[in-house]
Structure 1
Amino acid sequence: MTSIIAGRLQRQDQVELAITELLAAGFPRDGISTFYVNPAGQHDLYPIGGDRDESPGTGEADEGLLRGAATGGAIGAAVGVAGIAVMGPVSSVLGAAVGAHIGTLVGSLSQMKEGGEDEAGTDHALPQRESGMVVAVAMNGQGTEAQVIAILEALGADQIERADGTIAAGDWGDFDPRDAPNLIRHPA
């Protein structure tokens, strides 16, 4: 693994100029990676699409579901007992089932996090990586980070970041678009 400096650009001509300038500065072509990062949630990392097998912020939803089902079922059964005179013994069972169903919905939704709300130990917190063209340079002893940053900034890059990884033959193989960027230059 080596240190990597990467910046997000908006247009393909900016990417091509960045490559030209990085090569002129002495950086080898096989240590430069360019690619497009899709918007969050659209990376198709799973066979049915998406970035995760479970949505961030739903970690406590199962607990809320169980509590809601128990509470709703008990309340529904009590209401059903009151209706025994009208509907017979089936009303308590029906009341418990309806109450449990409503309770699961309310309970699970009450435990979910709002967008951008921190959830300890998860990647639900901001900042997220924004979509766009990325130019990444492996710092393998040729040139300096300051040179790469200056070239990327001059071409209008924002979200310039430092990462650890491996770029081989122009491919940043261990790049994970879900990782929050370690920004060294923030967008204006």
Structure 2
Amino acid sequence: MSGVRRVSGLCVALDRDDVDTDQILPADHMKGLSRHGLGAHLFARLRLDSTGLPDPAFMLNRHCAEPPAILLVGGNFGCGSSREHAVWALIDQGIGCLIGTSFGTIFTNNCRKNGLVAARVTAADRSALREAVGKDGCRLAVNLERCEIEMDGAPFCRFAISEIDRKMLLAGGDEIDRTLAHLPAIEQYERGAL
């Protein structure tokens, strides 16, 4: 996995709290082990109206020409089961960053492991971002090096992310890479030198 320094592009809003991983990717679309093609089923139950046709009011159905790179979400996004497929579906849809007030813990770990930035903002900053995003979305940049969200090339607000998650996303590594970085100390310990 390559490192992530900046995610930029269209940002749209999903105005719902407590969106669980089954809403992100319903279980009936998890029949294989491949990560590819899952984006077509992202928010499958939310995207369709009562007749089974795409609901034009749903934000992802309005943005077919340019898929969003950033999704502004409500609180407790990604709660529920530890379904890594949900993160795969977001990435397969082209989403590289989520901005919200809170995320499910296991979901956040799955985001980091797959290179998806989960940026936490205050409720006030989320409200300001929501106003800026409006109905049709707006262009944002999420700078992981400075932990800033930028609009029109200028800082808009800061976001929080654990330092471990930030460093692993920047480096493009995982827990094994983090452990291997301490290999000389581990070998010293095993030899009884520590």
If asked which structure has higher relative contact order (CA below 8 Å, sep 6+), I would say 1
TM-score by length of 2: 0.22
Larger radius of gyration: 1
